Structure 1
Amino acid sequence: MNKLWTMICLSSAFLFNVSATSATDRWAEFSAPPAMPAAVRSGKAPVNGIEMYYAIYGSGEGTPILMIHGGLGYADIWANQVADLSRDHTVIVADSRGHGRSTRTDAPYAYDLMAADYVALLDYLQIGKVALVGWSDGGIIGLDIAMKHPERLTKLFAHAANTTTTGVIPGGFEAKTFLAYIDHCKAVYGRISPTANQYEAFATQMNEMWSSQPNWSDDDLKAIHVPTVIALGDHDEAIDRKHTEHIAQMVPGAKLVILKDVSHFAMLQDPQGYTAAIRAFLEMR
């Protein structure tokens, strides 16, 4: 992760749109998400010593969907999916600890701490169970919740998650798409964070977590009994496909989904296809 930290600290000067020559090369693109639709409700929840930004969209009668973004990111990365899913579902998004509009403390970052934040958010919102969609760090948080708080989930969609640090592809964060994502998130942080001038301190805390976490055993994964989809883009820059396949083999009954012609940023590269995969997941029994 030290190379990633170097990329975080230095301005990479890459454009937010990395051009591709054809539809099948969309995996080589990173585009900023569009604006979010109007929220039914938004605010900041006092959880575990922080003020956690959240927003709720739609008013479907079924189980709410909780969508958790990746590291360095923010809730609005899900704009395309929220616009579609909120037509017939209640969708909850939030900014993880220290990300986006949420505050942080000096406590060391840990996936179980961030998972506890999301469980506390559900308590604050008086929501019992959700179908959880998590991407990258959000997928790891989802797996943590599935292990320790399975009563809060009806099912889990974990996209581009690793369960040990060895699941990360060496040098993957140097891809142009990833550099563009880092630049984008840094710029957004400067606009919306309550500690806009503390990005380096925030990124340092994150890097310290990434250097050693997650570190789950196969037995930890075998203890998950929430219906689970393990997903990965077929051109993911950061997460090793064999690692993803191993996760799917270890989680009992898990379904492996390989998303076509997309990378780590599938929700932006193929919004319709990604949303269709989530809808198929929601219908899964």
Structure 2
Amino acid sequence: MTSFTHTQGQSLPINAADIYVEIAGNPTGEPLVLLHGGLGNMMDFNAIVEHLPEQFQLIGIDFRGHGKSTLGNAPLTYRQYQADVEAVLDQLGITHYSVIGFSDGGITALRLAAAQPSRIRALVTIGAHHQLAEDDPVLGMYAAMTASKWRALFPDNVARYEATNPEPDFDRLVPAVVALWTETAAYPGEAIHHITAPTLMVRGDQDHLCTRAHTLALGESVPQAEFFNLPGTGHDVLNEAPSLCMAGLTPFLLQHCTESGNAMAFSTSPA
């Protein structure tokens, strides 16, 4: 497969939830985990999946409550997302991997890279910050979100969720996600100092959720961090400007994501 379809994967039982995982790309290639943003799902990566280097095994995971994963009874936290991803990869027998994380997926990816640095070959975060101060205005924006507001802003997104999820309950999911967004203690915070993987921080220049200051502060704390700022784009650069996004991702992935951990020449699939 060259895209995620929500038809070719499997659901794995993890901590009272069924976490859905699907593999695209090269089935025997280098593992590259794709982690989506809040109230989205793995299909949000389809704008770039077919343009990723052909040597990668692409592992899409729907966070609990999202896509085809059930919500379960555990509170949504970045800690829980991290534990779910680790459990999925353990069940798949994947010991070393690279990861691209967008927004909530990027925050989770930072936690993964900080907690088990030896497992991560390379890390790409997109529109992700590692901490929020208690007085950060973004927290107020998060706290004000409701299911009805999200329905009004993103009706197609909600319709896709309700058609895809095996136990859809959007009125329950949104407050759970808002609680995750506003639990400042669960952000990676100072743990990012443990990250050793080469890291590419991608940000749309007009991103109102992940500010330039957020990204620069993250970069100053991660030793091998590179900053790729995309002009004229907002938070969802993956879908706003996929070609521009890939202009930064492709050379970074080709340089750093290898089985041995050393750079080697990879070819890319045709655009």
User: How does the TM-score come out when normalised to structure 2?
Assistant: 0.82
The equivalences for 1:69-80 within 5 A come to 69-80=36-47
The CA deviation at 1:116 is: 1.0
Among 123, 138, 162, the residue aligned to 1:190: 162
Match of 1:261 in 2: 232
Kindly tell me: are residues 86 and 97 of structure 1, through their superposed partners in 2, closer, same or farther at Cα, counting changes over 3 Å?
A: farther
The CA deviation at 1:247 is: 0.5
> Does residue 92 in structure 1 map to residue 63 in structure 2?
no
Q: Secondary structure at the match of 1:284?
A: helix
Kindly tell me: are residues 152 and 40 of structure 1, through their superposed partners in 2, closer, same or farther at Cα, counting changes over 3 Å?
A: farther
Q: 1: CA distance between counterparts of 2:187 and 2:4?
A: 37
Q: 1: CA distance between counterparts of 2:10 and 2:253?
A: 26
Q: 1: CA distance between counterparts of 2:156 and 2:247?
A: 26
The CA deviation at 1:272 is: 1.3
Q: 1: CA distance between counterparts of 2:166 and 2:132?
A: 30
The CA deviation at 1:53 is: 1.1
Q: 5+ residue gaps in structure 1?
A: 1-34
1:225-262 deviation per Cα after TM superposition (whole angstroms, max 9, x unaligned): 12111221111121111111110111112111112221
Q: 2: CA distance between counterparts of 1:170 and 1:145?
A: 23
Match of 1:118 in 2: 85
The CA deviation at 1:95 is: 0.7
Q: Secondary structure at the match of 1:151?
A: helix
Q: Secondary structure at the match of 2:255?
A: coil
Q: 1: CA distance between counterparts of 2:31 and 2:191?
A: 26
Letter of the structure 2 residue corresponding to residue 83 of structure 1: E
Letter of the structure 1 residue corresponding to residue 243 of structure 2: Q
Q: 1: CA distance between counterparts of 2:36 and 2:128?
A: 11
Kindly tell me: are residues 168 and 100 of structure 1, through their superposed partners in 2, closer, same or farther at Cα, counting changes over 3 Å?
A: farther
> Does residue 64 in structure 1 map to residue 35 in structure 2?
no
Q: Secondary structure at the match of 2:9?
A: strand
The CA deviation at 1:48 is: 2.5
Match of 2:125 in 1: 158
245-254 or 58-67, which deviates more: 58-67
The CA deviation at 1:182 is: 3.8
**Matched-pair contact (CA < 8 Å) for 1:160–1:231:** yes
**Matched-pair contact (CA < 8 Å) for 1:37–1:83:** no
Match of 2:99 in 1: 132
Q: 1: CA distance between counterparts of 2:194 and 2:158?
A: 37
Match of 1:21 in 2: none
Letter of the structure 2 residue corresponding to residue 74 of structure 1: N
The equivalences for 1:11-30 within 5 A come to none
The equivalences for 1:150-229 within 5 A come to 150-166=117-133, 169=138, 182-196=154-168, 198-213=169-184, 214-217=186-189, 219-229=190-200
Kindly tell me: are residues 264 and 171 of structure 1, through their superposed partners in 2, closer, same or farther at Cα, counting changes over 3 Å?
A: farther
Kindly tell me: are residues 153 and 242 of structure 1, through their superposed partners in 2, closer, same or farther at Cα, counting changes over 3 Å?
A: same
Q: Secondary structure at the match of 1:283?
A: helix
Letter of the structure 1 residue corresponding to residue 183 of structure 2: S
> Does residue 283 in structure 1 map to residue 251 in structure 2?
no
**Matched-pair contact (CA < 8 Å) for 1:57–1:90:** yes
Match of 1:251 in 2: 222
Q: Secondary structure at the match of 1:55?
A: strand
Q: 2: CA distance between counterparts of 1:244 and 1:181?
A: 26
Q: Secondary structure at the match of 2:50?
A: helix
Match of 1:14 in 2: none
Q: 2: CA distance between counterparts of 1:136 and 1:76?
A: 15
The CA deviation at 1:99 is: 0.5
User: How does the TM-score come out when normalised to structure 1?
Assistant: 0.78
